[in-house]
Structure 1
């Protein structure tokens, strides 16, 4: 159980950005962008990740490896190498109130049937998990594979090999608060119940991501089956982007950083790319 909670804790904090909507089209197809100008001695880089992918689809392109090697520090949404942060994630995935008491009888029956049918696991074995953790587990099962890769984990491994330090844009406690404000229990129950809808759109989303097409990815993420709302966008996208856009300049002031965040955070008027441009930085795509 402890191992499951640990895995779900990491997945949970990564997954919810796939529900978020970008609000402005980007004409250039690239997931990797260079940040320069405004007195920076060396450029930094920002890469849009997708938080889970089947191993056969996973690929870190040469252009991304080159940019990563040039950077002096890796900065992600959270620092998954910090034992204290991982412990806090694990803690946030368990609830003092079991799901059998938290959910209505109808909700419990619905989720139990979804889990049994789609995963073969009865809900009672996950009774102490939060709905966030349960949703994370179910979403991972929508992928047509058992070997799942994560860009965040791979970048962390590369940083260790290259002896690069780690940085983070927020803490687990901050992110947990954003989740709590963004998603109600009813919303999470609906997300879990929409298993087939997630599964049907995942293939298209993966192919679009592999093509580095932020414009098309934007449209897919706006699909009503992902359940995004103005309130969830506010807490999970807009507020976080604004906070990050304040931190990023200070982080890269005296060193080159490689920022890895969910791709949904990049485009749009309130996206990271536009916010950095508004501060006077030159932000351009790296195509090859």
Structure 2
């Protein structure tokens, strides 16, 4: 199995890291209460696709909430999405995955510093736990991952908790954009995202990886709850799950989400003023008081839902 690139795993890693240190029952996930700053306070529709207009824009733009790794049946490209992209002149992802040097920069950014390895970060018994898990549960060798930041290896572990071979919404949208001869842009750089993921030291990441492996059998039900919420297209519920301290999120992680959202708004404004754009970012970025939708509303834009039929 390949090591998933940071752009694919960003949202996936965020939620997975939140639950790796303790296993929470499904009932707890349902206890998150709506806020008066939820999108429901100004629009009752549940959707992942939103139209952006007003504030002097010559044409409408769109923003869509992705989950970076999903089973194929949970990642449909709907008629509404195709039409929204067709009416746009460019696709803007969290990262410009179409850049000529993207793969090279990603490989470089994912490597641990010289002289540091997963083996050296762990005690022998901890490393043996990983070796056995990768060999017996994933039919792989842990040695393929010893030079990679452990947070990325952890994303591989969580991706196998899905009952399928995961696909990337970003790749699907890129293929559609190429078919429509659209440009692809990025809100952030690979280096910036990797720096953000590395708030924890390599040793802390390695310990988290071991905990995730030890708790592996408890992960699939939580992943299913996450996917179910995503399929319900409730961006506020997804935001609450991503920032719920009872699921392990600390204040720094919640603040990081808000900072990234704030950083995106000027870039989005510039792109939308120049040409109609289709933005696709992790769905946790859309909802809540500091989410992209609310921030755009505060800038005077009109935010309207584009209702996409719910999947059964």
- Of 50, 65, 78, the match for 1:48: 65
- Of 205, 228, 252, the match for 1:231: 252
CA contact (8 A) 2:53 2:301 kept: yes
- Of 39, 53, 65, the match for 1:26: 39
1:270 matches 2:270: no
- Of 260, 272, 280, the match for 1:260: 280
Q: Secondary structure at the match of 1:145?
A: coil
The corresponding residue for 2:215 is: 194
CA contact (8 A) 1:111 1:123 kept: yes
1:98 matches 2:96: no
5+ long unaligned stretches in structure 1: none
Measure how far apart 1:82 and its partner are.
1.1
Measure how far apart 1:256 and its partner are.
0.4
TM-score (norm 2): 0.81
| Aligned equivalents of 1:224, 1:264: Cα separation in 2 | 15
Q: Aligned pair in 2 of structure 1 residues 187, 160: CA closer, same or farther (>3 Å)? A: same
Deviates more, 1:136-145 or 1:18-27: 18-27
5+ long unaligned stretches in structure 2: 19-31
Q: Which residues in structure 2 correspond to 1:115-264 (within 5 Å)? A: 115-146=134-165, 148-181=166-199, 184-185=204-205, 186-222=207-243, 227-235=248-256, 237-264=257-284
CA contact (8 A) 1:36 1:44 kept: yes
The corresponding residue for 2:29 is: none
Q: Aligned pair in 2 of structure 1 residues 10, 245: CA closer, same or farther (>3 Å)? A: closer
Measure how far apart 1:251 and its partner are.
0.9
Q: Aligned pair in 2 of structure 1 residues 10, 217: CA closer, same or farther (>3 Å)? A: closer
Q: Secondary structure at the match of 1:149?
A: coil
Q: Aligned pair in 2 of structure 1 residues 203, 287: CA closer, same or farther (>3 Å)? A: same
| Aligned equivalents of 1:265, 1:254: Cα separation in 2 | 23
Q: For each residue in 1:261-288, what CA deviation from the matched residue of structure 2 results, as whole angstroms up to 9, or x when unmatched?
A: 0000001111111111111111121125
1:11 matches 2:29: no
Q: Aligned pair in 2 of structure 1 residues 38, 223: CA closer, same or farther (>3 Å)? A: closer
| Aligned equivalents of 1:161, 1:240: Cα separation in 2 | 30
| Aligned equivalents of 2:295, 2:64: Cα separation in 1 | 15
CA contact (8 A) 1:182 1:231 kept: no
Q: For each residue in 1:122-172, what CA deviation from the matched residue of structure 2 results, as whole angstroms up to 9, or x when unmatched?
A: 4234222220221121111111112x2211001101111110011110101
Deviates more, 1:65-74 or 1:102-111: 102-111
| Aligned equivalents of 1:253, 1:105: Cα separation in 2 | 56
| Aligned equivalents of 2:235, 2:86: Cα separation in 1 | 24
Count of residue pairs the alignment pairs up: 283
Measure how far apart 1:69 and its partner are.
0.9
TM-score (norm 1): 0.88
Q: Secondary structure at the match of 2:198?
A: helix
Deviates more, 1:188-197 or 1:71-80: 188-197
| Aligned equivalents of 1:107, 1:85: Cα separation in 2 | 33
CA contact (8 A) 2:38 2:289 kept: no
Cα RMSD over matched residues?
2.6
CA contact (8 A) 2:11 2:284 kept: no
Deviates more, 1:122-131 or 1:238-247: 122-131
CA contact (8 A) 1:36 1:283 kept: yes
